[in-house]
Structure 1
Amino acid sequence: MTDSTTPRVLVLSGEPPPGLEPLDGRAELRIVTEDRLAAELPAADALLVWDFATDALPAAWPREGGPRWVHTASAGVDRLMFPALVESDTVLTNARGVFEQPIAEYVAGQVLALAKDFAGTYERQRRRVWEHRVTERVGGTRAVVVGGGPIGRATARTLGALGLRVALVGRTARADDPEVGRVHAFAELDALLPEADWVVSAAPLTDQTRDMFDARAFALMKRGARFLNVGRGPLVVEDDLLAALRARQLAGAALDVFREEPLTDGSPLWDAPGLLVSPHMSADTTTWLDDLAAVFVDNFGRWRAGRPLRNVVDKKLGYVPYAATAEAEGALR
């Protein structure tokens, strides 16, 4: 966008987000809640989906007019993959760059917590029980990280720094990836699972990946392996995971995302043997809201100047392709 008019930017949020002060005087910011979205969208030039857990956008999307650019303050974009937006000329961007390292650190922390039985240590401390026991080494064990984008790559690098031998699985195989060496294709996953001590789900939610971790996948894993999901809840068939944990096919698991959130009080996942539950917080750090705003502010400047935007989602694929991002990042610096 390069015209001289002040653009109208809708911000879907219950309250004004922090960090948007640099847009004062550069944009007409309008904070809207879900009940006002349909009325405001036709006249909007851009939309910031700050409330990224909303499901209101498909019903509110206008038949005519509407924003030329939509940005979501999230890495996942599956909630925005409705036909009217996908088939439109509207450019969609996400918050790639904010979540990668925090999620990788969360995965590393959970791997260490499971291997070192921190939960057992804390429980014995609570009961004032002094009980010496041995735990496991993580160095030299094998991890399969499913998801070849920045989150999966950051996770692979971080686990590698702990001494794990990591295989990264993505949509497209690469024999000499400049960052991680080799990337395996999804078709190779079945052959990798039986050798893995740790399986990390960090993939986007697409038709190809939905329900990919089911009874069949868990049965392929070696007995005593552990499973972690930091991708999207619907990647996992939770009843099948429960069965694998109860049968001791898996020695443990850690879930940060779920098919339905928040997890209900009656969910059997709370009491599943060896399962660590966290409330969708693996990426959320003390600065994450400011970091999310900074990504949008930077892209707003590019949009106004008619320059290439960062983190453009391929709406046919349902995510930002890694190769395109790496090429764009080099050109944009």
Structure 2
Amino acid sequence: MPVSAGQRVTPRITVLHGDDRPPGLSEDGLRFATGATLAEALPGTEVLLVWDFTSDAVRDAWPAADSVRWVHTASAGVDRLTFPGLLSSPVTLTNSRGVFDAPMAEYVLGLVLAMAKDLPGTIHAQSRREWRHRETEPVAGRTAVVVGGGPIGRAIARLLEAVGMTVELVGRRDFDGLPRLLPRADWLVLAAPLTDATRGMLDADMLASLRPSARVINVGRGALVVEPDLVEALAAGRIGGAALDVFASEPLPAESPLWELPGVIVSPHMSGDLIGWREALVEVFRDNLERYRAGEPLRNVVDKSLGYVTTSGASA
């Protein structure tokens, strides 16, 4: 059933969690479940909080969701929840849009500065006690193509522009124009949601359109990238480097060549995780829960046909 006015005061809430639970969340009618126990916890559940947003347990347990009216995920991306059973249902889906915008933008700016100024090389030389002088690259005046026109992409664009970069922001409506922008890109930043249209978008053809000095930054979703194609381009020196925070398989397998390829920075899906981020996610859920209890429109309602929140669904 969809969310509408006149909810009962205390809905039954189930929280899907992994190793950690949402801090400070102790609402009435609350129960906790792991991926292994979600199917037995779902019957009678009205509200499902997906705290473990890396889990596929909701898809597997969905046949037991006989009373769910609202699913909220503690993430910006909803790709693990866009399975046919949920998409075809009248259940309302919301995300945690807004929590990660500024942190991810800061992270991307940090990566740009670190790579342009060769901080990895400096740290490596220091570890070997080598006094190795070299010149570094400018940031101001360079061009960044940012793929993802949502709040995260826009926040990234603002910070990159603030240090003097020229930014081309590519959203869903501009996607067809991406190929003509790639040859001009010094930096290609992927911050798009994972949808049918964006899955595998960075493939051999797109990589071949980049200049040899261009660098790729991915803070969106790992499956935006065809990893074997990226590995091949990096190993052959056809692009200048990459900074990757998300991967097709997480944790990144120890045998992945990405760990050791020169010019590559690997981080463990942490670009949006500032100190206090878990508490911020809980507050987003609590705000929407109060709205739900009052029968008011929810914030951050995902357009399930698109796989992300549109402007009309962002706020009540």
Give yes or no for TM over 0.5: yes
Shift of 1:65: 2.1
Shift of 1:324: 2.0
CA distance in 1, matches of 2:86, 2:178: 32
Does 2:19 correspond to 1:18? Answer: no
Query: Measured at CA, do residues 294 and 271 of structure 1 come closer, stay the same or move farther in structure 2, by a change above 3 Å?
Result: same
CA distance in 2, matches of 1:148, 1:273: 30
Q: Is the 8 A contact 2:146 2:169 kept in 1?
A: yes
- Greater than 4 Å deviation, 4+ residue runs: none
Partner residue in 1 for 2:6 = 2
TM score, norm. by length of structure 1: 0.91
Partner residue in 2 for 1:311 = 300
Partner residue in 1 for 2:156 = 155
Question: 1:8-38 deviations in whole A, cap 9, x for unaligned?
Answer: 00011145420324x3xxx311011222211
CA distance in 2, matches of 1:248, 1:131: 23
Does 2:315 correspond to 1:324? Answer: no
CA distance in 2, matches of 1:30, 1:5: 16
Report percent identity of matched pairs.
58
Q: How does 1:84-233 map to 2 (within 5 A)?
A: 84-172=85-173, 185-233=174-222
- Aligned to 1:294, which of 283, 291, 294? 283
Q: Is the 8 A contact 2:42 2:65 kept in 1?
A: no
| Equivalent residue letter for 2:158 | R
Report the secondary structure of 1:222's partner residue.
coil
Q: Which runs of 5+ in 2 are unaligned?
A: none
Q: Which runs of 5+ in 1 are unaligned?
A: 173-184
Query: Measured at CA, do residues 63 and 49 of structure 1 come closer, stay the same or move farther in structure 2, by a change above 3 Å?
Result: closer
Does 2:28 correspond to 1:39? Answer: no
| Equivalent residue letter for 1:298 | D
CA distance in 2, matches of 1:54, 1:64: 16
CA distance in 1, matches of 2:251, 2:21: 24
Q: Is the 8 A contact 1:42 1:62 kept in 2?
A: no
CA distance in 1, matches of 2:261, 2:6: 55
Does 2:82 correspond to 1:81? Answer: yes
| Equivalent residue letter for 1:156 | A
Shift of 1:87: 0.6
TM score, norm. by length of structure 2: 0.95
CA distance in 1, matches of 2:71, 2:119: 42
Q: Is the 8 A contact 1:77 1:319 kept in 2?
A: yes
Query: Measured at CA, do residues 251 and 126 of structure 1 come closer, stay the same or move farther in structure 2, by a change above 3 Å?
Result: same
Query: Measured at CA, do residues 66 and 123 of structure 1 come closer, stay the same or move farther in structure 2, by a change above 3 Å?
Result: same
Report the secondary structure of 2:299's partner residue.
coil
| RMSD over equivalenced CA pairs, Å | 1.3
Q: How many residue pairs end up in the alignment?
A: 311
